Amino acid sequence: MTHDVEETLDPDDWKAMRALGHRMLDDALDYIGTLRDRPVWQHAPPEVKAHFDGVPPHGPEHPDEIYQEYRDYILPYQLGNSHPRFWGWIAGSGTVMGMYAEMLASSMDAVSGAFSFMSNNYVESQVIGWCKAMLGYPMTASGLLTSGCSASNLIALAAARNTKAGFDLRNEGMQNAKKKMTLYCSDEAHSSLQKAVELLGFGNDALRRIPVNDHLQIDLAALEARIKEDRADGFHPVCIIGAAGTTNTGAVDDLHALADISTKEGCWFHVDGAFGAWAAIAPESRHLVAGMERADSLAFDLHKWMYLQYPVGCVLIRDAELHRRAFSLTPTYLAHGEGDRGLTGVDLPWLDDYGFELSRGFHALKAWMTIKEQGTEKYGRLIQQNIEQAHYLARLVEAAPELELALPVSLNIVNFRYKKPGMNDERLDHLNKQIELHLQEEGIAVPSSVTIRGRRYLHIAITNHRSRKEDFDLLVREVIRAGNSMA
């Protein structure tokens, strides 16, 4: 069958679509402005899950009805990370300006990556430059905005592998390595590093998990001993990975010492600073991540402790040429310099030469607009505010006889448990899990729980610009109340 009328996906009724758009924006602002009045999260009941069964719609549905479905079945069942009492996992809480930026970026259907003449790439380069300046990383480094720190770790370790392999790895592949390459991190390091080493063909075994000291930082003597042992056994140590803020406890490895050992051993030094890197912008806390600026590569997120909407992470690589060499590939249809010659006079690199993706969303716009709107000083104050809130909560815990702190706070994470005299660890583990579930399911607050040295603790990770001291008062009250009623 042929059709005489040519079609488009643009609205038939622009006026009605405009009215719907205005309503959506008003509703979204109301939603953000009243977060505190709602439960932090609620589970999608079976009828909501059932709603998402079925075949694709054959014919059109009315936009108003689709929006209503969104309001009924999608909006109420979110993770809750924008709520002031969400601290369960390390998550961003979003900004209004960031929301506007996402809308504007999609109004242009903006794509970032290739074509250096596009303004998007100037914005991304500026945001990357701002990250370097804010974090004290060399301005000559290269960088890329990513979909998150998992991608940033992968990109950084690819550059590390190709640089340190000692042969043309891109061409010859891992099977031509004469010696097995090894990498080193603490046994508290993030699981995305394991995924990265697996994807890069090192194999999980090649990632040596080094034990931690009492502060849950990598044990330096154990690290050096393992490198020595590996060399003696014929392995080729290529990379040392430091944590600037571990997921479980916020521990920061001794980054200066790791930089020194990396230099001595001829290893690439990578730092996973997913959230912790941002301590560098709070003048009172900058010292906590000292040495990070010496890394050969640095991975971090802006969708965690810069509070921006998902997704946006970043990777910085000290030697821009090593970064480019790991990824640059130019098919003829993307030959540089033809389409953009003479248009700008600014010689920006094509950003797809610095990562594995060609087309990417315009992640930079929300960062650019929000950082301009708020300024870096205020951001520094917010980071400090979260760190101080962590210490405040730790003091509340220490003052309550029913509660026990797992270990002193090192950054913005507090781990503690409800305890009852005479209860063994196994029963306390179970009880604390029940307390966690109760707080979550009642929508009071969202902690998660982690196991530290074999014991389960409630886990409070504060990367939330909406939390206030009174939220932590309430948390402590509710944990004690729940514990007393369940124990």
Ligand X SMILES: Cc1ncc(COP(=O)(O)O)c(C=O)c1O
- Give min distance, CB of 292 to ligand X, in A: 13
Instruction: Pick out residues in 409-448 that bind ligand X (CB under 6 A).
Output: none
For residues 373 and 96, what is the distance between their CA atoms, to the nearest angstrom? 10
Query: Nearest approach, Cβ of 89 to ligand X (angstroms)?
Result: 7
Q: Does 449 bind ligand X (CB under 6 A)?
A: no
Told to check if 188 binds ligand X by CB under 6 A, we report no
Q: Is 113 left (phi over 0), alpha (psi -120 to 50) or beta?
A: left
For ligand X, the closer CB: 274 or 439: 274
- Tell me if 196 sits within 8 A of 153, measured CB to CB: yes
Q: Under 8 Å CB-to-CB from 273, ≥6 apart: which residues? A: 135, 243, 244, 245, 289, 292, 298, 299, 300
* Residue closer to ligand X, measured from CB, 273 or 483: 273
Please, are residues 212 and 251 in contact by the beta-carbon 8 Å criterion?
Answer: yes
- Give, in order, the Cα–Cα distances in Å from 50 to each of 42, 60, 73, 333: 16, 21, 10, 45
Fill in the amino acid letter for 3.
Answer: H
Among 190, 363, 419, 456, binds ligand X (CB under 6 A): 190
Q: Which positions from 247 through 266 interact with ligand X, judged by CB under 6 A?
A: 247
By CB under 6 A, residue 313 contacts ligand X:
yes
Q: Does 272 bind ligand X (CB under 6 A)?
A: yes
Q: Does 80 bind ligand X (CB under 6 A)?
A: no
> Which of positions 21-40 make contact with ligand X (CB under 6 A)?
none
Q: Which residues have C-beta within 8 Å of that of residue 405, sequence separation ≥ 6?
A: 394, 397, 398, 414, 415, 416
143 forms part of the interface with ligand X (CB under 6 A): no
Q: How far apart are CA 37 and CA 83, in angstroms?
A: 9
Least distance from C-beta 152 to ligand X, angstroms?
8
The nearer residue to ligand X, 118 or 127, going by C-beta atoms, is 127
- To ligand X, the closest distance from the beta carbon of 247 in angstroms equals 4
Q: DSSP string spanning 460-473?
A: EE---TT--HHHHH
Q: How far is 220 from 70, CA to CA, in rounded Å?
A: 52
Question: Does residue 93 belong to the site contacting ligand X (CB under 6 A)?
Answer: no
Least distance between ligand X and beta carbon 185 (Å): 10
Alpha carbon of residue 202 to chain centroid: 24
Least distance from ligand X to the Cβ atom of residue 195, Å: 9
Q: Is 186 in the site for ligand X (CB under 6 A)?
A: no
Question: For binding to ligand X (CB under 6 A), which residues are involved?
Answer: 90, 148-150, 190, 192, 247, 272, 274, 301, 313
